[in-house]
Chain A
Amino acid sequence: MLFDNDERLISKALDGSEKAWVKLVKRYEKRIYNYSLRMTGATDEAMDIVQEVFLAVFRNLPNYRGDGVFPAWLFRIASNRCTDYLRRKNTNPLENKSLTDTDTLRSNKMADEDLHRSQENRELLKLLSALSTEHRQVIELKLFQNMTFDEIEGYTGLSANTAKTRFYAALQKLRNLVEVPYAV
């Protein structure tokens, strides 16, 4: 078959087909990787999360009900794993990197990564770096994954009202940070 749908690939992967599993991973890894990258701001950490996500997916694949919403199921795992990862680290790698002194605060490695990163991506990561993990998560899900607040509630376990509050706080914080350099 020219195009295997997700369910078919999952079925083959469960039967032990390594090829089907790789095909399935390749289909979604870019989305998960870029999501993780925006959440962490670092390539190696994003890759750690990608590996954790697909490991979890592989282990839970027999429990997948095959009701045709594999991407949603996958992204739910990715969201949870990302939150767990950042909570486990208990640090926010992007915090404390103000827009004014990024060159001095970033590690050499991240600076190297930045050199190879497009200017556009750098701008977004700078903006996101001003936010806490919780705020960034809501912004990511709401704006970049186009979820409703009810969906965010379902994905993260946060109440819709808490998500709205965080969304508002995140926008406020961004505005303050943008205005500060010009105020000085």
Chain B
Amino acid sequence: MQYEEIVALLPDFLDDKLSQRQQQWVSDSLDSSEELRSALASLKDLRAAHNQWNDEDVPQWHRTAFAVRPKARTTNWMNWVSLATSMAAIFLVMFRIQVVSNVDGYQVSFGDQINKVAFKKQADIFLNNWQTEQVSYLEHRFLEFENLQLQQNQQILKTTLQYNQDQRHKDLNQLASYFVDQRTQDITQSQQQYRQLFDSQTEDRKSIETLYASLEK
């Protein structure tokens, strides 16, 4: 085990990294052991070989083969192109579109020449029908609007009348109540005045009687 310990120190011994005591110990051990000297020689050979090692370049390799993220889903524009092409073809067939090259250049026509009049007639019929439908629709909408407006006005009038009636009824009740209260107060006040007058008359009469009595005497 001691050999192994010393051999383990040999790299640091070569680099002069050991303490003075360890350096001396290893040095003495080397002097006395052929085996250790052999180990040191091997170590030197290895180090010499390694010092001359030239790092080799890494061959080409795919560094992201395993790290690559799933590709973002791209729009398959080819599908859209094919759809657009199909729609355009259907459109061309339905409207009988013709592209004619003549001396004036290219001419695009819808339907053949024979059907132009018929197409115009059909278009007029369609437009007339559409106009009639639109007029009818608008009239219908106006009527609906008028009816709605009428209903709303009636509702407002009814509500207003009801409110006025309620208010008037309330006012009359207040007036009657006030009249009764006032009348009661007036009667009470008259009674008091009559009583005072009666008392005064009685007192006057007593005074007259007293005066009369004194005169008679």
- Residue ranges of A at the interface with B (Cβ–Cβ < 8 Å): 13, 16, 18, 21-22, 25-26, 29-31, 33-34, 37-38, 43, 47, 50-51, 54-55, 58, 117-118, 120-121, 123-124, 127, 139, 142-144, 149, 161, 164-165, 167-168, 171-172, 174-175, 178
Q: Nearest chain A CB to B40's CB is how many angstroms away?
A: 8
Q: Please tell me if the beta carbons of B42 and A22 are within 8 angstroms of each other in the complex.
A: no
**Which residue of A25, A118, A143 is within 8 Å of B50 (Cβ)?**
A143
**Partner among B11, B39, B41, B63 whose Cβ is within 8 Å of the Cβ of A168:** B39
Known: A143-B47, A168-B8, A175-B42. A26 touches B63 (CB 8 A): yes
Once the chains bind, are A120 and B68 in contact (CB under 8 Å)? Answer: no
- Are A124 and B50 in contact (CB-based, < 8 A)? yes
Q: Is B54 an interface residue (CB 8 A)?
A: yes
> Are B38 and A124 within 8 A (Cβ)?
no
Choose one: B41, B46, B61, B69; the contact of A143 (CB below 8 Å).
B46
Contact residue among A31, A58, A164, A174 (Cβ-Cβ distance under 8 Å from B42): A174
Q: Is B43 interfacial (CB 8 A cutoff)?
A: yes
A167 to B12, CA, bound (A): 14
Closest to A21 in B: B67
Q: Show the binding face of B for A, using Cβ within 8 Å.
A: 1, 3-5, 7-8, 11, 35, 38-39, 41-43, 45-47, 49-50, 52-59, 61, 63-64, 66-69
Inter-chain pairs besides A47-B58, A127-B45, 14 sampled, C-beta below 8 Å = A13-B67, A18-B64, A33-B58, A37-B56, A120-B52, A121-B54, A123-B49, A123-B52, A144-B50, A149-B8, A164-B5, A167-B7, A174-B45, A175-B41
Question: Can you list 26 residue pairs at the A/B interface with Cβ under 8 Å?
Answer: A13-B67, A26-B63, A29-B63, A31-B55, A33-B58, A34-B53, A34-B56, A54-B66, A118-B54, A120-B49, A120-B54, A121-B54, A123-B52, A124-B50, A124-B53, A127-B49, A143-B46, A144-B50, A161-B1, A164-B5, A168-B3, A168-B4, A168-B7, A171-B38, A174-B45, A175-B39
Cβ contact within 8 Å between B66 and A165? no
Collect the chain B residues with CB atoms within 8 Å of residue A43's CB.
Answer: 59
Top 6 A-B pairs ranked by shortest CB distance?
A120-B52, A124-B49, A171-B42, A164-B8, A174-B42, A171-B39
CA of A37 to CA of B52, assembled, Å? 15
B5, B7, B52, B66: which contacts A58 (Cβ < 8 A)?
B66
A-side contacts of B38, CB under 8 Å? 171-172, 175
Give the dominant DSSP class at A's interface: helix
A54 touches B52 (CB 8 A): no
A30 touching B58, Cβ below 8 Å: yes
Q: Is B63 a contact of A165 with CB atoms below 8 Å? A: no
Q: A21-B64, A58-B67 are in contact. Are A34 and B55 (CB under 8 A)?
A: yes
Contact for B7 among A30, A33, A164, A174, CB less than 8 A:
A164
Contacts of B43 in A (CB 8 A): 143, 171
The winner among B11, B50, B55, B64 for most chain A CB atoms within 10 A is: B50
Interface centre among A30, A58, A168 (most CB of B within 10 A): A168
Which residues of chain B are within 8 angstroms of A34 by Cβ–Cβ distance?
A: 53, 55-56
For A143, what are the chain B residues with a Cβ–Cβ distance below 8 Å? Answer: 11, 43, 46-47, 50
Note all chain A residues with C-beta closer than 8 A to B56.
Answer: 33-34, 37, 117, 121
The one of A38, A50, A175 in contact with B58, judged by C-beta atoms closer than 8 angstroms, is: A50
Tell me the bound Cα distance from A180 to B15 in angstroms. Answer: 29
In angstroms, Cα B47 to Cα A25, docked, is 28
User: Using Cβ atoms and an 8 Å threshold, which residues of chain A touch B68?
Assistant: 18
